[in-house]
A = this chain, B = another copy of it.
Amino acid sequence: MFKVKIIAIGRCKELWLNAALAEYEKRLRGRCSISWQFVEENESFTASCRKEPILVALDIQGERFNSEAWAEKFMRLGKRASFAVGGPSGLPAEVLQMAHFRWSLSPLTFTNQLARLILVEQIYRTLEISKGSPYHK
């Protein structure tokens, strides 16, 4: 069972986003739990990230992968990984420095709300790739 923690600045505001996340979390049930930690400002964000043994920072300047390469990368992180998703101004410099690596979802800028959904969809996709399901083709 994978345990993923997502640390984010600000709550998931949009109703549609919460519905979409709930759908993916339901599909992940029994294979991967996702816990959310919402913080309100950079200082508590940095303090929370510091406690995480394996931290991936979502950052547009980070490395990019296709979904297959990302799935391999994810699997090598072990059973517990944490992801940091910044607010509209991105991640604090300290979080970028302490991260295991920085991951860029795309050269396009997304809202941090949409980035959360893309992240969770890719985690679901990773587990489908690893079991060879037709979800990913």
- Assembly stoichiometry (copies): 2
- Tell me if A77 counts as interface (CB < 8 A to partner B): no
In chain A, positions 82-107 with a C-beta closer than 8 Å to chain B are 88-89, 105-107
- Tell me if A52 counts as interface (CB < 8 A to partner B): no
Please give, as numbers and ranges, the residues of chain B lying within 8 Å of A118 by CB-CB distance. 108, 110, 114, 118
In chain A, positions 1-48 with a C-beta closer than 8 Å to chain B are 14-17, 19-20, 23
Q: What are 20 A-B contacts defined by CB distance under 8 Å? A: A15-B19, A16-B19, A16-B20, A16-B23, A17-B20, A19-B19, A20-B20, A64-B107, A65-B107, A66-B109, A67-B108, A67-B109, A70-B108, A88-B137, A106-B106, A106-B107, A106-B108, A109-B136, A110-B118, A114-B121
